[in-house]
Structures are given as C-alpha cells and as structure tokens.
Amino acid sequence: MVVPIVRVSEAKDLPALLELEAHYMAELEPQNFERWKACEAVHRKRMEEVLARTFAAEMADEIRGYCYWGLQNDGAHIFNVYVHPDFRRYGLAKYLLERTEEDIRKKGFSHWTFNPIRTHPAKVFIEQLGYKLLREDADRLHMMKGKAAA
C-alpha cells in the first residue's frame, strides 16, 4: 500500500497544482472552465502567492490532491480542496483538510469558513469533519468550523 504524504507545497509543484486546478474546473465547474483557462497566468500567480498555505497530497511521488487557505474578510477561509478522481477514497481530502486546519490554528485562528461546491457527497463529507452548514445557495455550501468568538 502506498502511504500518502501531505506537505507544504513548493515552487516545483506549481505545474502539478495548476493541472489539478484545471481538472477541478473541468470536472466541477465546467461552466467556468473556458474563462478559467483564459486567465491561467493569473491563476498561476495566485498559486505562487499562496504556496506557503497550500498543502499537497502525494502518492507514489505524484501530487494527487491539494488544499489551500487564506484570508477573506479578515478571517481564515479554505479556498479549495481537490483530489483527482482516480485517487479518491484513500482519505486524501481528509488528510489535506486536517493539515490545513492545523496550519490555520497555528496562525491563531479559532474558526474558519469553507464554501465547497454544493453536492450531496461534499455536504455529507464536510459535515462528518465537524463543519456546520451556515447556508446554501445555488452553487455553494457556506460552512464554518471551530468556535467563533461570541
């Protein structure tokens, strides 16, 4: 059995991360894929800027998934988690989210938000990890984890 490694991304990972992001767009947001592709240089720059907050999941020396977070409205926000379809059901998304959450806590945040694509499997999976549904809209689940200050 190949054991996954979850680690902070490095500059050498950018091509694989961008390839996974393109795969994500084609699979889960096909209506936005052409617009995403037209701005690929912008996405590359954004990925370069968040490498220190991007975690890569490796299996057999290849990056199979990623997760990154940053600030949104002065709070911590997980922007995306994605695992290539051929490598799902190995726990990679869970490992990625756990490592990302650990990093968020180390940076001093007690809670954070995440807005995954609105699908039933995503909702069940994210709720199993302790996220609370704040609201849903046509495209996204608006979720939070941790303890917000009263």
pLDDT tens by residue, 34-46: 998 899 889 889 8
Torsion 98-131-19-52 (CA) sign? negative
Tokens standing for 101? 């959450």
Output the pLDDT for position 2: 64
Tokens standing for 105? 């806590």
Output the pLDDT for position 120: 66
Output the pLDDT for position 106: 95
DSSP H helical ranges for the chain: 14-28, 33-38, 40-49, 92-106, 120-128
- One-letter amino acid identity for 102? E
Query: Structural domain boundaries of the chain?
Result: 5-146
Output the pLDDT for position 13: 95
Kindly give the parts of the chain with pLDDT less than 50. Answer: 150
Output the pLDDT for position 150: 47
Helices 40-49, 14-28: axis angle to 10 degrees equals: 120
- Using CA atoms, how far residue 131 sits from 70, 100, 127, 145, 149, in Å, is 18, 14, 5, 5, 16
Output the pLDDT for position 1: 54
Domain 5-146, second-level architecture: 3-Layer(aba) Sandwich (3.40)
Output the pLDDT for position 148: 65
pTM of this prediction? 0.89
